[in-house]
Amino acid sequence: MYKYGPLVFLLLYSSLSHAPLVLAETSTQKMYFFLIRLADFIYASKLRLCICLSILLFITCSFTVSQSFAQSGPNVPIKIIVGAPAGGTTDTTARIVANALGAQLSRSVVVENRPGAGGNLAAEFVAQAHPDGNTLLMCFTSHAINATLYPHLNFNPIKDFTALTLVASSPSVLVARPSLGIRDVNELIVYAKLHPGKLNFAIGALGSSLHMAGEEFKMRAGVYIVNIPYKGTAPAVQDLLAGQVELMFAALGNVQQHIKSGKLIALGVTSLKPIESLPNVAPIALSIPGFESSAWFGLLGPAGMSSQVQQDLGQATRQALGMPDTRRKIEMEGATVVASSGPEFTRFLASEVTRWGKIVAFSGAKPE
C-alpha cells in the first residue's frame, strides 16, 4: 500500500491546489496548507532543474559536435593524407592548403604521403579512419579514374567518403618536340591519320589524368598513337626534350619553361578557353568539339562525418582558399582555385567517375 502513497498525495494535491486560499485557523489546516506549499515548491524546483539540465545538455552536445574535429586538443594535428610522392603537384597543393587551413583553425595541419597504387593506398587509409575530422584526403583525378581502372577496390570512391571541397583544377597542355614540324592540333590529326602508329605519346604514369587525356584525344579524333609508358613525369619530359618521344600531355607547371624557351611546342590546351599563361595557344576543343581534360584536387574525409564537422571544415577550407596568398601560391602551380561546396564536389566526383569510365573502357588500360 505504501507504494501508492506518493500517487495518492499527487492526486490530492492536484485536486486541491487550485482551491481558494482560506485562513488557517486550526493545526490541521496549518499542516494541510504547509504540505500544499511544500509540494508546490518541490514540483517547481524539479521543473526548473529539468529545464536547466536540458539547456545544459543541448549546449554541451552542440559544442561537442561543432568542435569534434578539435576534441583531441590543439596539440594533435589534423593529417592530410596524399597518395602521391613528395614534390609533385598534388603534394605541393596539399601543403599549401595545410598551411592556410592551419592558420584558419589555429591548429597544426600536416601532410602525410602514402603513395602507391595510383592513390588507392591513401584513399583506403582515409576511408577506414575515424570520421572525427582529424584525418583527411587530398585526392586527385585518379580517384575517379581508379573506380573503373581497378576492378576490385577495397572502398567506394564516393560512398566511403565525405566531400568537403573541390580545391582547384589545372588544365594540361599537349606538347611536341620542335623537330616533328607540327605546329597545331589540326596538323597533328591530319598527320596521325595519314601515318597511324608512327607517332607516340610519352605517358608519365599509366592510369593518370594525363594518360587518360591522351586516350580521350585518340578516341575523339579517331587516330592511333602509340603509348610509351614511363615511371614518372620527369623522365618522360627528359626524353621528350631529347627527341626520344614525340608528344606528351603534361601539367603546365612541368613544361611551361620549356615552351617559353622554345624547346617544346605547345599544340593546344585541354581547357575550353585559352589560359592566361599561354594566351596564344588554342584550346584543343576548337579542333575536337567537346574535348576537355583537367587535373583536379579535392579534400575528402571519411564517410560518417557529422554534418556539423563537414560544414565547419568545408567552410574553413574555403575561407583558407579565398586568401590572396593561398590563391597566388596555387596559381603558381598552374592551377585555379575552385573552392566548391561539399554537395557540389560530390556531384562533380560522381560525374567524373562516369566520364572517365568510358575512356578507361576505350583505352583498355590495366593497372601497373
- The predicted-structure confidence for 288-340, as pLDDT tens digits, reads as follows 999 999 899 999 999 999 999 999 999 999 999 999 999 999 998 888 999 99
pLDDT at 199: 97
- What residues contact residue 115 under an 8 Å CB cut-off, 6+ apart? 82, 83, 84, 85, 121, 122
Query: Closest Cα to residue 344, out of 299, 294, 308, 292?
Result: 299
Q: Over 80: is that where the pLDDT of 40 sits?
A: no
Classify domain 171-286 at the CATH class level: alpha beta
Query: Which helix (H) or strand (E) covers residue 44, if one does?
Result: helix 27-66
Mean model confidence pLDDT for the chain: 84
CATH architecture of 73-169+296-363: 3-Layer(aba) Sandwich (3.40)
| Higher local confidence (pLDDT), 8 or 304 | 304
Mean pLDDT over 181-197 rounds to 96
**What residue ranges do the domains of the chain occupy?**
2-66, 73-169+296-363, 171-286
Grade residue 228 by pLDDT with cuts at 50, 70 and 90. Answer: very high
Phi, psi of 283 (to 5 degrees): -65, 145
Task: Say if CB 322 and CB 117 are below 8 A apart.
Answer: no
- Report the b/e string of 199-217 with b at 16+ CB within 10 A: bebbbbbbbbbbbbbbbbb
CA distances from 235 to 142, 143, 244 (A): 20, 24, 11
Task: Say if CB 150 and CB 123 are below 8 A apart.
Answer: no
103-130: per-residue pLDDT in tens? 999 999 999 999 988 899 999 999 999 9
pLDDT at 276: 84
pLDDT at 48: 53
Among 63-72, 183-192, 247-256, name the one with the lowest average pLDDT: 63-72
Would you put residue 18 in left (φ > 0), alpha (ψ -120 to 50) or beta? alpha
Task: Say if CB 141 and CB 293 are below 8 A apart.
Answer: no
Q: Which residue has the cell 590546351?
A: 269
Grade residue 231 by pLDDT with cuts at 50, 70 and 90. Answer: confident
Q: Over 80: is that where the pLDDT of 184 sits?
A: yes
Q: Over 90: is that where the pLDDT of 277 sits?
A: no
Task: Render 246-279 in DSSP notation, one character per residue.
Answer: -EEEEEHHHHHHHHHHTSSEEEEESSSS-BTTBT
Mean pLDDT over 74-83 rounds to 89
Q: Over 90: is that where the pLDDT of 27 sits?
A: no
Task: Say if CB 199 and CB 226 are below 8 A apart.
Answer: yes
pLDDT at 2: 42
Q: Over 60: is that where the pLDDT of 171 sits?
A: yes
- What residues contact residue 68 under an 8 Å CB cut-off, 6+ apart? 132, 133, 306, 308, 309
- What residues contact residue 295 under an 8 Å CB cut-off, 6+ apart? 89, 140, 141, 169, 170, 171, 172, 209, 210, 251, 335
Q: State what percent of residues in the chain have pLDDT above 70.
A: 80
Mean pLDDT over 228-245 rounds to 91
Grade residue 46 by pLDDT with cuts at 50, 70 and 90. Answer: low
